[in-house]
Amino acid sequence: MALRAAVIGPTGYAGFHLVDLLLRHPEAQLVYLASARDKLPDIRQIYPQLIGRIADQVAVCRPIDVDSIADVADVVFLALPHGAAMGYAPALLDAGLRVVDLSADYRLDDVAIFEKTYQQPHGDRQNLADAVYGLPELFRQQLPGAALVACAGCYPTAAILGVAPLINHSMVKPERIIINAASGATGAGRKLSEATHFPQLNESFGAYGDIGFHRHQPEIDQVLTRVAGRPVRSFFVPHLLPIDRGILATIYLQPATADVTLGELFEAFADAYAEEPFVRVRDDLPNVKDVRDTNFCDLTVRLSGPEEDPIVTVFCAEDNLIKGAAGQAIQIMNLVFELDETAGLL
């Protein structure tokens, strides 16, 4: 019998891609779309791409009614704004549903850091303590049967996958990890803004935000610190690209010792990812176009700069809406329910 899935918050870009991926999934069935909007939308009016692919009774969003969802679904995806998921997760978990949350609500272990980063109190500390951090390549063993999984953020996924194997093998220093990242416009969401007004963004390129204080930096540091077993400190600078989709992280690191070789760096990645279906360690430089509309994260590494003071550069590319959001959520669902990890994703 197919796994029955509900999506709460399908009208955002991540929500749409959850719907799209679930409709293609060979072992899952989309049964319920739920929206917090007063006027419940038909998802096909927002995303005409879905016309002819989704049944009428599913396409029209219903209220976020926990009992109704629990009646028909096994798993629920929360694709809500940061701060909103924690309002629904407790009841959904109590009703016996598996919950995969795409927001930041359950990503940060430390409540104080969450509250400082997202400027709001955390309303569900108990589940926060139990939530699994949803980055399968690092924490796969915690996923089977997990009740609540917090999908890794879009930027953190690229950054962490690019750094973790080197930190883990102590091949790079844990400080001054410079993550120069760029994202396509869907990363900024469906909400209208000057920054994403077409004549403003088209043919443009620039960094954005409060440099050095992006909300994804604590998430990156928390996970890398856990991997390293000692404090890791990165420096994250995001840029906005005039394209729809894709994240590229260009990461500058300092070798831990002077004698590290490029071969060893590649070996560290090979060790980490040889068996991973969605990480491709490449010889040539990754490009967001190569991973568009896929769940892959492509990466490579270089060793160059002055011989006496070389620099390790890692390049990671992913689709922010797939491996950085909806695809990763489906990969997590597959692992939680012990399906083939790649089901519906290749």
Q: What are the residue numbers of the active site?
A: 154
One residue of 119, 120, 204, 261 binding a copy of itself per CB under 8 A: 204
Which DSSP category does 195 fall into? G
Interface with a copy of itself (CB under 8 A), residue from 145, 304, 338, 340: 304
Is 35 or 183 the residue whose CB approaches a copy of itself more closely?
183
Which of 291, 329, 339, 343 touches a copy of itself by CB under 8 A? 291
Instruction: Candidates 37, 116, 125, 176: give the one binding a copy of itself (CB under 8 A).
Output: 176
Beta bridge partners of 236: 179
Nearer to a copy of itself, 235 or 337 (CB): 235
The Cα–Cα gap between 135 and 152 comes to 6
- Least Å distance, CB 330 to a copy of itself, is 15
CB 97 within 8 A of CB 144: no
Neighbours of 96 (CB within 10 A): 9
How far is residue 202's CA from residue 36's CA, in Å, rounded to a whole number?
32
Nearer to a copy of itself, 18 or 248 (CB): 248
For residues 200 and 125, what is the distance between their CA atoms, to the nearest angstrom? 41
Q: Which stretch binds a copy of itself (CB under 8 A): 77-85, 95-103, 149-157, 205-213?
A: 205-213
Residue 19: partners with Cβ closer than 8 Å, 6 or more residues away:
7, 10, 30, 33, 43, 47, 50, 54
By the rule CB under 8 A, 202 interacts with a copy of itself: yes
Q: Are 168 and 227 in contact (CB under 8 A)?
A: yes
Strand 206-207 to 234-240 pairing? antiparallel
Least Å from the CB of residue 167 to a copy of itself: 17
81 contacts a copy of itself (rule: CB under 8 A): no
Q: In whole angstroms, give the CA distance from residue 155 to residue 321.
A: 11
163 binds a copy of itself, rule: CB under 8 A: no
Stretch that binds a copy of itself, among 21-29, 105-113, 114-122, 123-131 (CB under 8 A): 21-29
Task: Name which position in 88, 139, 269, 296 contacts a copy of itself (CB under 8 A).
Answer: 296
Binding status of residue 194 toward a copy of itself by CB under 8 A:
yes
**Do 273 and 301 meet the contact criterion of CB atoms below 8 Å apart?**
no
Q: Which amino acid is at 184?
A: G
CA dihedral of residues 234, 82, 323, 156 (deg, nearest 10) = 0
Among 174, 246, 255, 327, binds a copy of itself (CB under 8 A): 246
Q: Which of residues 253-272 bind a copy of itself (CB under 8 A)?
A: 254
**Pairing status of strand 311-318 against strand 247-253:** antiparallel
290, 319 Cβ separation under 8 angstroms? no
Tell me, residue by residue from 309 to 338, as one string, x for binding to a copy of itself by CB under 8 A and - for no binding.
x-x-x-x-x---------------------
Closest to a copy of itself by CB, 56 vs 284, is 284
3 state SS of 30 = strand
Is-contact 140 335, C-beta < 8 A?
yes
Closest contact distance (angstroms) between CB of 42 and a copy of itself is 13
Q: Which stretch binds a copy of itself (CB under 8 A): 93-101, 156-164, 235-243, 330-338?
A: 235-243
Q: Write the binding mask 27 to 66 for a copy of itself: x where contact by CB under 8 A, - elsewhere.
A: ---------------------xx-xxx-------------
Q: Which CB atom, from 105 or from 318, has the smaller least distance to a copy of itself?
A: 318
Residue 173 binds to a copy of itself (criterion: CB under 8 A): no
